[in-house]
Structure 1
C-alpha cells in the first residue's frame, strides 16, 4: 500500500512532526511518502481569493498527493484546544478543491502536546470532520506529556510505546497487511 504521511504543523520544531517521524519509521511493508506541508504554502482561505484567482496550485498538489495514496498517517497539532489555524486552512482549501478529498482513504491520526491530554481535543475534532470529506479514521493515538514521554526520537514510556505498537498493528490490518 502507498501511505502518505504529514504533520499539520508549520513549526520547524514541531513535536508532532517528531512523533510522526517515529511512528512512520515503525511501519513496515508499505511504500511511505512523508511530506512537509510547509513546502506547499497556501494563502488564508477566502471565498474572494477562490472567486478571483481560483484554487491555489498547492492545494491541488496536496489533493493529488492524497489521491495517489491508499492510506494516510497524519499528526495533528493543537492550539487552544483545536487544530492549528495553519492545518485548518489546509483542510479548508482541500475541501474547496474537492469536497471528498479523503474519499476511500483509511487514516491513522496521531497527536501529542506538552500537556497531559496530548492534543486529544484537536485529534477528536479532526477525527469527526474527516468523515465529512470521505475519509475513515481507522485508528488514532494521543501521546500525552511529550517532554516526559519522548526523548531522542523514541517513546520512553513502555506502556505508551506498547499502545503505539497496538495501534500500528491494527492500522496495518485495516489497510490490508
Structure 2
C-alpha cells in the first residue's frame, strides 16, 4: 500500500481547490491518503533575513518530511491573476530553501479549479513548470473550470465529460505509483 499526500495550494477556508482535493482523495481506496489542509499551516513571507534570524519552522520540516515520505502527491492549485497564489509560491520558496530536492522523483496528480471558465490553467502551467524544475518525476494533469456549475458537495464532479477526464487522471496517477 502506497502513501499519498493530498493538499491544495490555497490557505483559504473556502477553497474550491481543497474541495477538489478532498473529493479526489475520497476516490483513492487502495492506498493510504493523508489529507492536509493548508489553512492550518501559516508560513511567514519568505525572506533571507527572516530565515537567518529564525531558521525553519517545525511545521515546514514536518511538511517536507511528509512530502518526501509519500509515494505520490495530489495537489490542486488556485489561481490569482493567472499565477499561483502568493501563499503557494511562498510555501514552495520555503520548501526549496529547506531542501532544494524536496519534491525530487515524486509522482504528482496536479489539478487546478476555479469559478472561471479557464479552470486555473494559468497557475496550473506555472506550477507544473516549477515542480518539474525541482525534480518531480511524473505529473498527471486535470483542470476543473466553472467549479460552481460543475461540482456539487456530496456528489463530486457533475459534468460527465469532466468527471470522465478526472477519473482518467486519477487512474493514470495511481498507475504510476
On whether the aligned pair clears a TM of 0.5, the verdict is yes
Stretch deviating more after TM superposition (151-160 or 77-86): 151-160
> 1:146 aligned to 2:147?
yes
Stretch deviating more after TM superposition (118-127 or 28-37): 28-37
1:87 alignment partner in structure 2: 88
2:7 alignment partner in structure 1: 6
**Deviation readout 1:136-159 (Å, 9 max, x if unpaired):** 242010001111111124111001
> 1:126 aligned to 2:127?
yes
Of 153, 161, 164, which aligns to 2:166? 164
Give 5+ residue unaligned stretches, structure 1: none
Q: Distance in 1 between matches of 2:153 and 2:56?
A: 40
**SS in structure 2 of the partner of residue 99 of structure 1:** coil
Stretch deviating more after TM superposition (30-39 or 139-148): 30-39
**SS in structure 1 of the partner of residue 91 of structure 2:** helix
Aligned residues: 175
**Structure 1 residues 66 and 143, CA, compared in 2 at 3 Å: closer, same or farther?**
same
> 1:24 aligned to 2:15?
no
Indicate if the aligned counterparts of 1:109 and 1:137 stay in contact, CA closer than 8 A. Answer: no
1:57, distance to aligned residue in structure 2 (A) = 2.2
Q: CA RMSD in A?
A: 1.0
Q: Distance in 1 between matches of 2:85 and 2:175?
A: 30
1:56, distance to aligned residue in structure 2 (A) = 2.3
Q: Distance in 1 between matches of 2:38 and 2:119?
A: 22
Runs of 4+ in 1 over 4 A off after TM superposition: none
> 1:106 aligned to 2:98?
no
Indicate if the aligned counterparts of 2:11 and 2:40 stay in contact, CA closer than 8 A. Answer: no
Stretch deviating more after TM superposition (79-88 or 127-136): 127-136
TM, length-normalised to structure 2: 0.95
Q: Distance in 2 between matches of 1:152 and 1:117?
A: 21
**SS in structure 2 of the partner of residue 126 of structure 1:** helix
